[in-house]
Amino acid sequence: MWWPENCQDTIARVQRQVDDGSLEYKLRNALREVANTGRAAGGVEPPESFQVYVPEYISFFNHDNPECDHVDWHFFPILGDKAPLTRDLRRKLNGLVEQVNGVLRRAAKSLEHMGVIYVAGLMSAFDGHRFCEPGQTSQNMDHPDTWFWSPKSSTKGTSEGPRHTIYIRQTVKTPDQELLDFVFPSKTLRATDVTPDSPPWTWEGAEKYPNFLTLLDAIQEVSAKEQQNQKQHNKTGFPEVDWVGIFLPFRILRSFHPKGTGYREFKNLIFAAMANNRDPTPEPEPK
């Protein structure tokens, strides 16, 4: 079914993949395929000069701030055991990111001969801009100095926070209500109808999504159709429709991705790595 699985089970599954080497095996194969495909595609001369830059992952949380211990992002808050962002959980998640970076670094190192380059430095660039920083902690976690999008961040406008002049907080629907409206489009069901004894995945009509992947595929399929419809409407002179603002998955799929301020640090470090790993242009010979 498509309810969230136990947080500790998910952490344990990822930890097993780190410990048994399967994650490194998958990463090494994926990076090798990217490098081979880039060489075969042409565009660089010689083909062996094609390079792949792999930035490190960033830990998402300040794990020392006690203000965050009460916050949780349980999708249907009334159901099941919540997973508040306690210091212990945040340390565990941050530690797992560090381990994954070690795996990624080793995989890239093993493929240096194919132009695969690991880019470090993002961890320190995000210091002070993670979730749960002192003075930036709320249930929404949408402070403008937080460089990640949270599940509760607004989708109205392109702003990153209230300091931006076009920032408008989204107050029309909660994410759990948006999910119910997507799964049961022809019914009027309220998030307040959800109870531990009657979770939405047991309701009539939910059987078309037997697991989370089928639900996600359906969301993405509808999203692609709506985007195509919008392009067609624009060509025929119909007014644009803000599908991003009203369509279900955007806030959820965007969660934990960096904001533009964070991607600026990606840009700076990757461009610096590119400059440091390019052979200098030879001086033209005098005529």
What's the pTM?
A: 0.72
Q: What pLDDT tens digit does each residue of the chain (287 aa) get?
A: 456 567 788 889 999 999 999 999 999 999 999 999 999 998 888 888 999 999 999 999 999 999 999 888 777 766 666 678 999 999 999 999 999 999 999 999 999 999 999 999 999 999 999 999 998 888 788 888 899 998 877 766 555 655 444 444 444 567 778 788 888 887 888 888 888 788 888 899 889 888 877 887 887 787 667 666 656 655 555 544 444 444 455 677 788 999 988 999 999 999 999 999 987 555 566 66
**How far is 37 from 47, CA to CA, in rounded Å?**
10
- In angstroms and rounded to an integer, the radius of gyration of the C-alpha atoms of the chain is 22
Buried b (16+ CB within 10 A) or exposed e, 125-146: bbeebbbbbeebbeeebbbbeb
Tokens 């075969």 locate to 40
How many CB atoms are closer than 10 A to CB 18?
Answer: 15
Tell which residue, 215, 34, 172, has the closest CA to residue 114.
34
Tell which residue, 151, 140, 139, 142, has the closest CA to residue 71.
139
Domain ranges of the chain: 1-153+256-276, 164-254
Per 3-state DSSP, the chain is made up of helix, strand and coil in percentages (nearest 5) of 50, 5, 45
**How far is 217 from 2, CA to CA, in rounded Å?**
12
**How far is 149 from 272, CA to CA, in rounded Å?**
26
**How far is 111 from 118, CA to CA, in rounded Å?**
10
